[in-house]
Structure formats: structure tokens, C-alpha cells
Amino acid sequence: MKRTLVEVSCGLAALVVMVSFHQQVARLEAQQQNVTALERKVERAVAAVGDTKELEQLRRQIVEQTEGRMKELESQLRSAAVGSQQARNIEQELERAKSDVLSFRSQLTSDFERQRQMVDAYMREVRSKEHDADMKLSEANRAIAQLAGQLYRDPNELTRTMLLPTVQLNGDDTVGSGTIVFSGPNEKHGHKTETYALTSYHVVRNILADTPKAQTDGFEVTIYLPGEKLVVKGKMVAAQPKIDAALVQIFTDRKLPNVANVLPRAEAPTIKVWDAVCAVGCPLGNDPVPSNGEISSLSNELNGANYWMINAPTYFGNSGGGIYRADTKQLIGVFSKIYTHGKGNPVVVPHMGLCTPIDLVYEWLGNEKLDHLLQSSSVPRVDLSQLAAPMR
């Protein structure tokens, strides 16, 4: 575009010089300064070629000044003797100038439109390529995340950090899950060894409803240890029905070796849709089983509270179980509800489950002065975007 402007400016300068220095139009010689000024404006416009408004203004100014010179020629033509050689020469030069100006204006308009079309086409191509690159980068990031998860899956580590912190809660007709979040000396109770698990409120509510003796004797809690199961009693010590969450104290003198690493509260906003997750629970009364999926949605309001949706397969009995971030193995939520379709014989939709977000759990236990029972630590994450960066 810069080259085109230079060529246009040179053509204009030649046109003006031709008109100004014609031997029959001597009076225009003094206006050479105007030509120089125009050339300087052209140079400034070329230097600022990105400014469309300045180029448009320059184009109008050049045409206006050229038409002004044509008017002077017309004035001189009227002053010349009719039929004289001078009049004929001026008349010829005037016709040529008019023709050149019309051609020049047409060329400017054509060049401007052609440049605009070229720029628009280029920008469309750039945007299309950027969109394609973003899509490919997103696909590459997901593929790398899946590959990294497969390459660095240590079964023993996965079992220790996500499977063994899981407990099963049992009533006469109810089964549910929970996750151990604290086991050790409780500073608020004289450093006595205590154990606590997170679960869903509706699980404990249903157990207490169908198991009358659980009101006084507590309900059964199955703890899973390497190579053994430990069946003890538990009772609900705090609950928040609005977010379907409950805290259960498990009665055992043993300091349990496997406790979930809860996502730090400050890191809760980093959870996003497409994050890989692992749901762990005891569906249909089975021992803990894991299922993998992703965060499907972060906005699902139910009874005045917001839940996250996951697509990891779940079933009845998963309620109260843990939802973990797959890459860091941190507890990020408590499984709450599973979608069903239909009224007479409802069909379970196992890949549409809702969980209570960990930030709501922090808020609730903070109000209860029990948030010290959530043991958490940050875990470094691999920056997958850096691995995929060369694709840009």
C-alpha cells in the first residue's frame, strides 16, 4: 500500500508540474510551493499509512487543490483573446488537465476500494486461521491432558489418595458414601484423636428415618484400609440441608492413614468446565469404585443453592462420595444428586450428576467453626498450554 501511495503522489506531482510549468501558463510558476507542500503531505500520509481518515482527507485535499488550478486555467482562458494561439493552447491544456483529474480521481477511488477489499479479505483470512489455531490448540491440550493422565497413573497412589479415604454409610434400607477429611489430634478437643467425614445431608437423613436405633446408637460406617475393612459407628455432628452437606464423626481411636487432600479454598475459582474429574463412591452398596469424567457445568441452581454438574458415571449409593480433580487428586466437591427422567418408572441418567462445590462446604463449616477439619495443601499442576505452545 505504501508503494501505491508513492506512485500516486509521483503521478500527482507530475500532473501539477505539467500544468504549472506549461509555457502558456506562466502565472502558475509561482505556485510551485503548493506542489512541494502537497508532496510533504503525501510523505506524512505514507508514514502514517494505517490512518484511513488521514488518507481520505489527503485525497479530498489533493483533488480540491487540483480543481482550483483548473479554475485558474479557465479564468486565464476567458482573459485570452478569442481564437488566439494562446487561447487554443490554454484550452487544450485545460481539457488535458480535466481528463487527467477525472482519471486521477477515478484511480484514487478504485485504489482505495481495492485496498479496502484486500485488507478486509486479509483480516478475514487471519481471523479464520486464528480460530482454527485456537480449536487445534484446545484439542491438543485435551489430548495432552489425557495422555499425561495415562502416562502418570500410579494405581497405588490413586488408591491411597482417592479410593481409601472413601467410607460407606449404612442404614436398614439406605446406603451412601462419605469421604474422610480429618483423622488425628483435634486441637479443639484436647488433642484427642478424632476422625470426620463429609457426606450428603440426605444420606444421613434417610438413614435416621429408616433405622430408628441410629438416632441413639449411631449408624454403621465402613472404613477401607489396605487389606481390611473396619466397621464402626458414626453420627452427624453438623448439617446444612440447603447445600445437601453433612459432617459425620466416626468413632475410632485409630488415626486413619488415608485422608482426602481438600482443594484449598482460594483455589476453588480455578475449577472450570472441561476439567477432568474422578467420582468415587459406593454405588448399590459396593465397595468404593471410581469413575472418570469432566466438569460439565458450574451453574445449576436447585432450592436456592448452586451445584456443579459432572458427566462421570454415578448411580444410587454414590451420594455423599467425593469428587476429585483428576490431575491433582484434590477433593473438590461432594456428590449430591443424580438426574432421572420420567415419573412412573424414572430412568436414571448416570452421566448427569450434581455435586456440592467445595467453596460452599468451606463457607458452611466456617460458620460452624469447623473448617479447621478440612485438611488441604496445594499441588503443582503441569502447564499444558506451554506444551502445546509450538502449535501456534
Q: How many Cα atoms within 13 Å fall on the side-chain side of residue 356? A: 28
Residues 6+ apart with CB under 8 A from 20: 28, 29, 31, 32, 35, 69
Q: Which of 389, 386, 382 is nearest to 146 (CA)?
A: 382
Give 29 or 178, the one with higher predicted confidence.
178
The reply to whether 147 falls in a domain is no
The domain tally of the chain equals 2
Residue 7 lies in a domain: yes
pLDDT for the residue numbered 376: 86
b/e map of 171-192 (b: 16 or more CB within 10 Å)? beebbbbbbbbbbeebeeeeee
Quick: pLDDT tens for 285-319. 999 999 999 999 999 998 889 999 999 999 999 99
| 3-state DSSP assignment of residue 50 | coil
* Torsion sign across C-alpha atoms 44, 50, 51, 53: positive
Mean pLDDT of the chain: 79
Do the domain assignments include residue 134?
Answer: no
Task: Give the pTM.
Answer: 0.61
Domain boundary among 104, 125, 146: 125
Whether residue 224 is found in the same domain as residue 265 = yes
Q: How confident is the model at residue 377 (pLDDT cuts 50, 70, 90)?
A: confident
Q: Do 320 and 363 fall within a single domain?
A: yes
Say if residue 283 is in the same domain as residue 352. yes
Candidates 124, 2, 118; CA nearest to 55 is 2
Residues 198 and 298 in one domain: yes
Q: What is the pLDDT of residue 181?
A: 97
Q: Which residue has the higher pLDDT, 341 or 42?
A: 341
135 within some domain: no
Same domain, 108 and 208: no
pLDDT at residue 319, rounded to an integer: 95
Q: What is the pLDDT of residue 293?
A: 96
Confidence at residue 52, expressed as pLDDT on a 0 to 100 scale: 53
Asked whether residue 62 falls in the same domain as residue 118, the answer is yes
CA distance 313 to 341: 16
Whether residue 132 lies inside any domain: the answer is no
Residue 308 is assigned to a structural domain of this protein:
yes
Q: What CATH number did the domain enclosing 43 receive?
A: 1.20.120
Lowest mean pLDDT among 141-150, 197-206, 208-217, 243-252: 141-150
In this structure, the answer to whether residues 95 and 224 fall within a common structural domain is: no
CATH of residue 317's domain is 2.40.10.120
* Residue 357 reports pLDDT greater than 70: yes
**Residue 138 domain-assigned (yes or no):** no
| Domain around 45 | 2-125
107, 125, 143 — which closes off a domain? Answer: 125
- Residues 167 and 306 occupy one common structural domain: yes
Residue 184 CA, distance from chain mean position:
40
Report which of 302, 304, 306, 313 is spatially closest to residue 338, judged by C-alpha positions: 313
Tell me: do 120 and 170 sit in the same domain: no
Question: 107 in a domain, yes or no?
Answer: yes
Lowest mean pLDDT among 119-128, 187-196, 203-212, 220-229: 119-128
For residue 336, pLDDT beyond 80: yes
Q: Which of the listed residues 83, 109, 125 is the one where a domain comes to its end?
A: 125
Are residues 30 and 162 both part of a single domain?
Answer: no
Which tens digits make up the pLDDT trace of 218-236? Answer: 999 999 999 899 999 999 9
Please check whether residues 96 and 180 belong to one and the same domain.
Answer: no
Residue 81, all three cell numbers: 483573446
pLDDT digits (tens, 9 = 90+) for 54-98: 656 666 676 677 677 767 767 766 666 666 777 677 777 777 777
Q: Is 74 helix (H, G, I), strand (E, B) or coil?
A: helix
CA distance 290 to 129: 40
pLDDT at 84: 72
pLDDT of 177 above 80: yes
> Is 164 in the same domain as 55?
no
* pLDDT at res. 65: 72
Q: Which residue has the cell 472450570?
A: 272
Q: Indicate whether 391 pLDDT > 80.
A: no
Exposure class string for 72-85: b at 16+ Cβ within 10 A, else e: ebeebbeebeeeee
